[in-house]
């Protein structure tokens, strides 16, 4: 797949947030989060592998090379939307055919952009991360905090509770 990686990730994130709102799955005053993360190798966007063969192909292509991980983030409340992105550079070590086969056999590649999960066994594939590690995991938290602030919410509102353990108002 080819195209504008930043535009693709942001559009996908906005579409996810809009779908939640469209379905009525959130109260009107709620801030809805949509996130989409893609892996970009050269001019190619590597989405989620369709099967084990495609996962192995993605990993062969990533082997010994650097790639970008791009996440689009969209926060939406009613008709108001805030969209941003983060780009992180990741280096993958040279992988043998046997290592690729063993990793694919773990199944960890399923539902993962680029067919790997840095927060799991896939951490052994990576030699360097230049930028936001959490972006590679799939949620650039610092971008989320910036977006919450744009809606007038405290940066860590999703984690704050009052003295009774209930959500902070």
CA distance 67 to 65: 7
- Give per-residue burial for 116-153: e unless 16+ CB within 10 Å, then b: bbbeeebeebbeebeebebbbbbbbbebbeebbeeeeb
Cβ neighbors of 39 (< 8 A, separation 6 or more) are 45, 46, 47, 58, 62, 67, 68, 69, 70, 113, 114
Query: Does 36 participate in catalysis according to the annotation?
Result: yes
Per the residue annotation, which of 4, 30, 36, 132 is the catalytic one? 36
Q: Contact 76/21 with Cβ under 8 angstroms?
A: yes
Query: Which positions are annotated as active-site residues?
Result: 36
């Amino acid at each position: 797949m080819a195209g504008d990686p930043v535009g693709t990730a942001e559009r996908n994130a906005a579409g996810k947030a809009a779908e939640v709102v469209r379905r009525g799955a959130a109260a009107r005053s709620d801030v809805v989060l949509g996130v989409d993360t893609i892996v970009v190798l050269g001019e190619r966007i590597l989405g989620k592998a369709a099967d084990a063969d495609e996962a192995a192909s993605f990993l062969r292509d990533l082997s010994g090379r650097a790639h970008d991980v791009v996440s689009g983030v969209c926060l939406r409340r009613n008709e108001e939307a805030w969209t941003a992105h983060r780009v992180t550079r990741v280096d993958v070590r040279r992988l043998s055919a046997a290592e690729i086969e063993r990793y694919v056999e773990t199944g960890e590649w399923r539902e993962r952009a680029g067919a790997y999960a840095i927060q799991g066994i896939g951490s052994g594939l990576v030699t360097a991360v230049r930028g936001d590690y959490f972006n590679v995991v799939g949620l650039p938290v610092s971008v989320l905090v910036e977006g919450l602030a744009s809606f007038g919410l405290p940066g860590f509102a999703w984690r704050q509770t009052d003295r009774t353990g209930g959500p902070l108002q």
